[in-house]
Structures are given as C-alpha cells and as structure tokens.
Structure 1
Amino acid sequence: TLAGSLLMLIAMLYLYNKAGASFEILDWHKLPLSLNVQIALFFGFLFAFAVKVPMWPVHTWLPDAHTEAPTGGSVVLAAILLKLGAYGFVRFSLPILPDASRHLAWMMVALSLIAIVYIGLVTLVQTDMKRLIAYSSISHMGFVTLGFFVFNAYGVEGGLVQMISHGFVSAAMFLCVGVMYDRMHSRAISDYGGVVNTMPRFASFMMLFAMANAGLPATSGFVGEFMVIIAAMKTSFWLAFAAATTLVLGAAYTLWMYKRVIFGGVANDHVAKLKDLNPREFIVLGLLAAAVLWMGVYPLPFTEVMHSSVNELLRHIAVAKL
C-alpha cells in the first residue's frame, strides 16, 4: 500500500506540474500527454489501485486482513475499501490516460481473468469461512476491472453495478460469519453442520446471500456479472467463456460451504445450543437482503443514472486516439 501510494503521488505531482500547478481533475483531462508518458503514469496509478481492488498478484494481503479483522472491520473492508481501487481506475486512469488505458487493455484483461478463474480455483480449497469469502471477493472484483477495460457501455456499467452488488453481498456474508462466530468462536467450516435446525431464520438469510454470491438470477450478484459477460462477448467469445467459468466456480465453493455449515445433522453440542437471530441482527440482515433482491429484480434505478456519465467517458476515450 505504501509503495503503491508513493508511486501514485509521484504521478499526481507530475500531472499537477504539467497542468500549471492545478489539482483540478478536469484540467488533467485536457493535458496533451504522449503515449510513453501516459503509460508511465498509468503504471504509477496501477500499483496503487491494484493493491486496493485487489488484483492478482498483489492480492495476498486481503485474506489475512479479513481473518484478523473483527466483523465490523471485514464489512467496511469488503463493502467500501475494495471499491476505492476500482473507483480510481474509472475516475483517474481511464479519463486522464485514455491512450495508455487502451494500449494496456490486454494486460488488464489478462490480470482480471487470472483473478476470476485462478482465484476462483483457490477459493475451492479454503476451510476458513472468512478466507473463503475473502478469496471470492477477489474473484468477483475481477469482473469489475474486466468490465472497465473491454471499453463498451455494458462493460463499464456492469463493472459499476458489480461494485455496488459486491458491497451488499460481501458485507452480508461477513455479517453472517460474524453472527456464527459470536456464538461459536470458530470460523472453521468443519466445526459446523446442521445450523438450520437451531437457527432457521439465519439459515434463510444466509441462503439468499449465498445464492447472490454464486450469481443466481434475481439477485444482485447476477446483474453485474451478466452485463460484463455480455460486454466481453462483444470483444471475444473465448474471453466471455473464460469469465463465465466463475459462475460455475462461484456456485461450487459457495454451495459447498453453505451445505457443510447449514444442512445435515447437528454437528456437536455447541451447534445444538445456538440461538437464532436477535432483533438487531435480523434488522441488519433484512435491510441487506432487501437491497440484494431489489437490485437483482429491478436494477434499472441503478443503471439508468450511469448512462450519460459512462457514454461520455467512452466518447472521451474514443476521441483521444493518438
């Protein structure tokens, strides 16, 4: 984080000097920068933003951070902090450095696909619930960067929708783990089983969030990923095919965790003594469930406010060809 932020600071100071001592982003949009300068600045921003997304191969801090953080810390980290890197790409890299963004799009697409597919495979072997959700976050955020760098409206809007959806779903999943951890003081999947017998309301909420994490239609997790896959299809069938594999992987690791934790016979005496959701937990999870269903069933209010901004961004990139 420190190294990436330092490189971003250097890039910003260069733009500040080039714009006549101005930190106005609109002034930076108008700078006549050569391709080589844009590429150098792009990498300066990339190192900072990639750590925050996080992108492969600078993702290794995230599972450890989630494991050590309390439930509230994990919720804020997943719902807000990870979005800062993706926001940086769409706010700085794409509009200020359009030629470098297009010139290096192949690299960004490749890194995104590695995050989607490879990290999805890594997620399959996790035995700690928090680590599993953390790795799945990396895979899902790969859709965001993929959507941004296929350069069509469906892709950029899909990436933005995926950011919002991931904020709801990942926060809800970490809250579900926190609910169980408060009662059992364990995150190991093997310590659970048959939770539905003692916590039926909790099991219902977790089922919805697990389905959203797997990208089930009518949940928010489906909308952004589907839009990005359609956008990738316009570029290459095989690109879309590779991205779509995460739908299978996501279902595999999410449903495996849900089945082991929620279904089956009561695993032990600790599970048998679990108490269902209290009113505070029910309200918090209920609000997130409403957001996940609203965005999945009727995403138009989220997408229609993006149209003009996304089209202007893509127009700016298209006319900036050197």
Structure 2
Amino acid sequence: MSTFPYLLAMIVVPAVGAAVVAALPKGRDELAKQLSLGVSLLVLVLAVLATVAFDAGGERFQLTTSVAWIPDFGVDFALGVDGIALVMLLLIGVLVPVVVLASWRDEPPGRRSMQAFFAWLLLLESLMVGVFAATDVFLFYVFFEAMLVPMYFIIGSFGGPRRQYAAVKFFLYSLVGGLVMLAAVIGLYVVSASELGEGTFAFDALRQIEIDPGVQKLLFLGFFIAFAIKAPLVPFHTWLPDSGAEAPIGGSVLLVGVLDKVGTFGFLRYCLPLFPDASRDLAPYVLVLAVAGVLYAALLAMGQSDMKRLVSYTSIAHFGFIALGIFAFTTEAGTGAVLYMVNHGIATGLLFLVVGMLIARGGSRQVGDYGGVARQAPLLAGVFLVAGLASLALPGTNSFVSEFLVLIGSFPTRPVFTVLATVGIVLAALYVLLLYQRTMHGPPRGVLLEGGIHGGDPYDDVPPARGGASAATATVTAPAPPAVPRLRVRDLSRRETAVAAPMVALVIALGVYPQPLIELIEPAVAATMSEFELDPDGDGVVPADTEGTD
C-alpha cells in the first residue's frame, strides 16, 4: 500500500497555487492563467496516481492520513477514500483544468481581474478535494462550509447581471443547511460520548454505534436537510437556477458538476451508514421528493427561454434519479447512482461549456435569439449534439449506463417510483432536442439578424449585437429582396476544441466501457448497502441482521 500522502497533496497543491496566483503583481493575468493550468494539471496527475495506488479489492478506506487536530474534542485531520470518493476526486481532476482552459480568453470589463478568478478557482478545488476525502465528520463539516466562500465570490464578482442576488441566495441557502447539519454533528458527538465514554467524530467509530431509532431520525434530518439543499432536491432547489444562470460558465460547470454532488455523496457516506433505521423509515418520503424533482424540473426545463437556466433545471431532474438510486437500497442502483454522479458532471459540464461558447458569440442567453448556427459552425453544433444526447442518456453515451443501472436496480424494491421516474426520460428527450433544434437549425433569428454573432474576438466588420436582445421587432431598412443575415459564425477555435475534445472522448469512452469506474465504485457501495437487503415479500427492505430469522 502506498505511503505517499496523495490526498493531502491534492489539498495543499491547489491551496498553495491559489495563494501564489493571488500574490502575483496586478496585471499579470496571463501568468495567473498559466500557473492555474499547471497546478490543476498537477492535481489531475495526483488523482490518477492515487487511483493507480488504490486497491479496489482491499480495505474500504485507503490512502489514509490522520493527524490530531483538536484532541480535546476528538477531532482529527483525517483523510481517506473509498471507491465512491475516489471517482469524485477524478472528476474534480478532470473538470478543473477544462474550466481553466475554457476561461482563458475571458476578460470581463469593469470587473475584477481574471487573476482573482483563478485564485478563487484553485482554492475551490482544494476545498472540494477536502470535502470528499475527509473521514472525520467535523473536518467534513469544515470543508462543507468553507466551499461556500470561493463559489460566492466566483458568482458575485464574475457572474451575470443578477450575480449579486444569485451569490447571496446561494450563500444563504447553503449556510442555513450547514447550520442545521452542525446541530446534528454536535448531537452525534454527544451520542458518541454517551455510548463510547468519550466523544468522537471519526467515521469508522461512529458507524459502530447503536443509536436509538428516535434519535436517529432527528440526526438524519439534520444531515439530510443540508444535503438536500446542496444536491438540490425539490423543494430545496430554487437557488440553483439563479446561481447556475448567473455564474460564469466555469463556475456553472463546477457548481453542477461537483459542488452539488456533495449532497448526494453525503446521503451515501453519512445518512445511510450512520442512521440506517432512519434511512429505512424515511426513504419513501425522500423518494417522493426525488421523483417529484425528476418530473417537475423536466417540465420547468421545457419552458425556459434562458439556456443556462434550462441546463440548471435539467441538473435538478438528474439529481432526482441519483437520489432514487441511493434510496432504493440495492448495490446495483447505488452503483448506478454514483456512476451517474460522475457521468452527470461530464455530460452537463460539457453542455454548459458549449452553451457558454454560444453565448460568447451571440451575447445573449435567450434561446429565441439563435437559429441556424449549424450551417456555419458545424463543429460547434456537433459538440452541442453530443452533449445533448449524453444529457438525455442516449445508448452509447456515458449517462445511459448509469441511468440504466439506477432503473434496473431500483425496480425490485421501488417499482412505482421507478416507473414514474422513467417518464422523466421522455421529457428529457423533449427539452434537449428542442433546445438543439431551436438554436442549431432553422432560420437565423434574433442576434443573428441584428448584426451577427459576436464575442471573444471581433469578426470582420460585423458590429456586435446590441445587448443580445432579440431583433424580432427590429426595422429592416434594406431594399427588397429582404436582407440576408450578415453573418459568418466562428466555429470552434483550437483552444475551444482542446476544451471540448477530452469531454467528448469521456462521454463516448465511458458509454462504451464503464467497467473501470464500476469496479472502483461497487465494493464501496456494497459495503454501504450491507445494512439493507431485499424484503422477500417484496415490501421494501428489512434490516440485514434479520436474515434467516422466522
């Protein structure tokens, strides 16, 4: 077993990188970008090396590091990963360099320099690694809350017109959930002190404690509310469409690709193992929220005119599928849920990136301001199509395998909820294909007619669209025959191709051969689901210790 502290290095390296980038002299944005890309690639290398060192058939938690932090209260700086956490670290390692490269040319006028943006981005990467690697509950809580700070500034300083409102709403929702969880963390410490003689926050010790079922429910709800807000599940979801729409594209990718996964990760890591009785009793209510999210968010997505809000609502629907897989209490569905977390981060991250590229050209987020883009930007349209098909889980794309595992694993224990959730697949096809058809095909509309697509670099002598507003009511002064759009849409640049290519490759590769990730995930999920088993009468789940009883 490797003794190199991979996890600690993955936390320290981007944190130090953030400090270095922030300390650079003002105006050194180009150097800040280069340093940020180098640091994020180093973290990716560390994640890959950690995966190589991880033994899928060995102990559940590996690559461990533990240092006494606050010994009087039993708090350790304890790190370790199982297969579930490890694949999330790989996702972080992949997405952050992509986000850095995607943000390379963005220079928001009148706002803070991109130097600050990249410093916050690296700090966020450090904290995201910490939240998935922590094996001390108090340390997990610290990372859970600390993540809010860099994302708050990324949204509030570099986002859209309503960025301050979105940033404050994101912060307040998450802070309230974190405070509720803090009360549950303290309660868990008190329970451990009464059961063990001294309080502890160590995950391995806490999961051995027999907690009274009534107390379990209270503690479960404390953790669940925080995780349901973070995921988010309906009705705790209202902050995500605002934050996803107003955040810069890089922030949106990490928000829905990684940060929101902390909620569903928390269900698996903490709610189920620490509070199995409460999880079993309250699962039907959680599943109602999950399926409601799948259907409700899909319907709302179909009615959105803002492309970024539309993609944000699709994420809420996907999180409902993930929650269904977790609370079905089967290894197959749980494995599908974790794989879904990874695949959603890749597919929706790619979709957000392509939407961002389109917005950078047109200066508008409105679906109605685009049309006919595929004629002159076929590569952009092709990547858009791949991202859309992955989001609706077309066979051959990465999301299909995870969605299939969730459905086939959930049906034996939760048939009604599974059938209802399946309706969301049909709705997903509608909102994704309608978005693609309206923007990539048909006649040019809106900003295309008003003066051409702009953004990034100037093209020829085409003036920029005026505020990205629709030109549906604009007066056409050209003589008959009607003027054709003065438009030459720039296709993907080399940098944008370098951003999209690895994401497209992962969509296809994991759609064709997901087995390496499944082999990492399944043992950890099986260990989590060992508290539960199928009821032979088909009425749900029963405690595992009743096996063989009359």
TM-score range, shorter chain: over 0.9
1:270 to 449, 452, 459: 452
Q: 1:14 aligns with which of 168, 183, 187?
A: 187
Task: State the 1:17 CA deviation.
Answer: 2.7
Q: Does 1:308 align with 2:527?
A: no
- What does the per-residue CA deviation read over 1:75-123, in whole Å, with 9 as the maximum and x for residues that have no partner? 1101111101011111100100011000101011111000011111111
Q: 1:31 aligns with which of 209, 222, 228?
A: 209
Aligned in 2, Cα 1:94/1:127: closer, same or farther, shift over 3 Å? same
2:376 corresponds to which of 175, 184, 198 = 198
Aligned residue for 2:260, secondary structure, equals helix
Residue 177 of structure 2 aligns to which amino acid in structure 1?
G
Partner AA of 2:530 in structure 1:
R
- 1:244 corresponds in structure 2 to 422
Deviation, structure 1 residue 197: 1.2
Distance 1:186 1:320, change over 3 A: farther
1:36-91 deviation line (CA, Å, top 9, x unaligned): 00000011001100011000001000000011111111011011111010111111
- 2-structure distance, mates of 1:98, 1:155: 17
> Aligned partners of 2:317 and 2:175: how far apart in 1?
24
Is the CA contact 1:99–1:320 (under 8 Å) kept in the aligned structure 2?
A: no
Question: Residue in 1 aligned with 2:402?
Answer: 224
**Does structure 1 residue 58 correspond to structure 2 residue 236?**
yes
- Which secondary structure state, in structure 2, belongs to the residue aligned with residue 235 of structure 1? coil
Matched residue, 2:156 = none
1:1-322 maps to which residues of 2 (within 5 A)?
1-19=174-192, 20-267=198-445, 268=449, 269-271=451-453, 272-317=487-532, 318-319=543-544
Aligned-partner residue type, residue 287 of structure 1: P
Work out the number of aligned pairs and report it. Answer: 321
**Matching residue's letter, 2:191:** K
**Identity %, equivalent residues:** 38
> 122-131 vs 270-279, which deviates more?
270-279
Q: Is the 8 A contact 1:205 1:285 kept in 2?
A: yes
Query: Which residue identity does 1:291 align to in structure 2?
Result: L
Asked whether the equivalents of residues 191 and 211 of structure 2 are also in contact (C-alpha less than 8 Å), the reply is: no
**SS at 2:205's partner residue?**
helix
Deviation string 1:252-305 (CA, Å, 9 cap, x unpaired) is 000000000001233324142321111111011111001111111111111111
Equivalent residues of 1:159, 1:228 under 8 A apart: yes
Q: What is the alpha-carbon distance in structure 2 between the residues aligned to residue 99 and residue 108 of structure 1? A: 14
Q: In 1, are the aligned partners of 2:328 and 2:414 still within 8 Å (CA)?
A: no
Q: Is the 8 A contact 2:227 2:262 kept in 1?
A: yes
Between the aligned partners of 1:236 and 1:177, the Cα distance in structure 2 is: 36
Residues 165-221 of structure 1 deviation map (CA, whole Å, 9 limit, x = unaligned): 110011111111110111111010000000001211111111011001111001012
Q: Aligned partners of 1:17, 1:238: CA distance in 2, in Å? A: 39
**2:235 match: secondary structure:** coil
Cα–Cα, structure 1 residues 36 and 3, in superposed 2: closer, same or farther, change >3 Å?
Answer: same
Shift of 1:238: 2.9
Q: What runs of 5+ residues in structure 2 fail to find an aligned partner?
A: 1-173, 193-197, 454-486, 533-542
Instruction: Report Cα offsets for 1:219-276 as digits up to 9, x if no partner.
Output: 0121111111112221243322211111100000000000000012333241423211
Q: State the AA in 2 paired with 1:46.
A: F
Take 1:89 and 1:121, find their aligned partners in 2: how far apart are those partners?
26
Give the Cα–Cα distance (whole angstroms) in 2 for the partners of residues 4 and 310 of structure 1. 25
Worse overlay, 233-242 or 175-184 = 233-242
The structural deviation recorded for 1:129 is 0.5
Gaps of at least 5 residues in structure 1 are none
Relative to the length of structure 1, the TM-score reads: 0.97
Larger radius of gyration between Structure 1 and Structure 2:
2
Alpha-carbon contact 1:197-1:266 (below 8 Å) kept: no
- Structure 1 residues 159-168 or 258-267, which shifts more? 258-267
Q: CA RMSD in A?
A: 1.3
Residues in 2 aligned to 1:251 and 1:270: alpha-carbon distance in whole angstroms: 30
Distance 2:259 2:316 in 1: 13
Q: What residue number does 2:72 align with?
A: none
Q: Write the deviation string for residues 9-38 of structure 1: whole angstroms up to 9, x where unpaired.
A: 111112123222211011110111011000
Aligned residue identity for 1:157: T
Q: In the alignment, is the contact (CA less than 8 A) between 2:368 and 2:438 conserved in 1?
A: yes
SS at match of 1:104: helix
User: Matches of 2:421 and 2:519 in 1, distance apart?
Assistant: 25
Give the drift of 1:312: 1.4
Write the letter of the residue equivalent to 1:107: Y
Q: What amino acid is the match of 1:128?
A: D
- Relative distance call for 1:121 and 1:45 in structure 2 (3 A) is same
Name the CA shift for 1:98/1:237 in 2 (closer, same or farther; >3 Å). Answer: closer
Q: Aligned partners of 1:90, 1:21: CA distance in 2, in Å?
A: 23
Cα offset, 1:320, TM superposition: 6.2
